[in-house]
Amino acid sequence: GVSRAQASRCLIDDIFAALDKPMIVHPESGQRVALVTGGSTGIGRAIASALSKDGLTCVVVARRAQPLADTVANGDAYGAIQADLISDSAASSVYSECVERYGRPLVVINNAGGTDRRVLGDHSERHWHGVMRLNIEAAFQLIRGATPAMVDSGWGRIVNIASVYGMPGLDHRLYMDDPATAAIDVPRAFSYTAAKGGILALTRELACALGGHNITVNAVSPGMIDVSERPLTGQHAERL
């Protein structure tokens, strides 16, 4: 089997590959500010810790004050911004606050996300829009805010954390409590799947649009990750 530490290391290696690790600071100015959303727990905190160990000024964004404070106190990040990215225009405010307090981030990791599993008939517009705002709209707002400085600098690195749920051909039964059950009345991640598929498509389009400015845009699509805050149990843990 694969240990939690091994799985985490593999994921971080993928993210560093997407960032082009030898070039994760501006080659001329040495500007080193990195912004990581959803950075106080789980995958996001592991990303922030790895970037900080590489000498970047890492700023993490999350909803809850205590995990943010713990992340900074532990040395996994240099600074923190408390914000709920599900709120309208929150990502735009986060970018402005980062510039004011820490400097312009030329490395942006869009990691914040979450799902809302529901039976199809119970998937209201409110549930749908909440998942979309958190998983794709906030990422787009942050990228839109950050790219002018990247273009001016002639350099930038953007990584969007997507999911296997957004990839074509995924058999979702692998991720259900009972793989033999595929009935219409089983809660499923309809909005999350659509949002993560959108992130992958957005990443491709942004890469085409920004590549000529020496700005790379990549996505990493994790599967099930066993993190201490949300440990896998039962059949999920066995399959991992």
Distances (CA, A) of 147 to 39, 144, 211: 20, 6, 12
Between CA 18 and CA 161 the distance in angstroms is: 11
CA distance 41 to 50: 13
165 included as an active-site residue: no
Question: Collapsing DSSP states into helix, strand and coil, what is residue 63?
Answer: coil
Q: Is 28 exposed, middle or buried (0-12, 13-18, 19+ CB in 10 A)?
A: exposed
Bridge partners, 118 (sequence order): 188
- Both tokens assigned to 132: 């979309």
6, with CB counted inside 10 A (0-12, 13-18, 19+), is exposed
* Beta strand extents in the chain (DSSP E only): 33-37, 57-62, 79-82, 107-110, 156-161, 215-220
- Which one from 78, 95, 165, 192 is the annotated catalytic residue? 192
Backbone φ and ψ of 114, nearest 5° = 180, 155
CA distance 63 to 52: 21
Residues assigned a catalytic role: 192
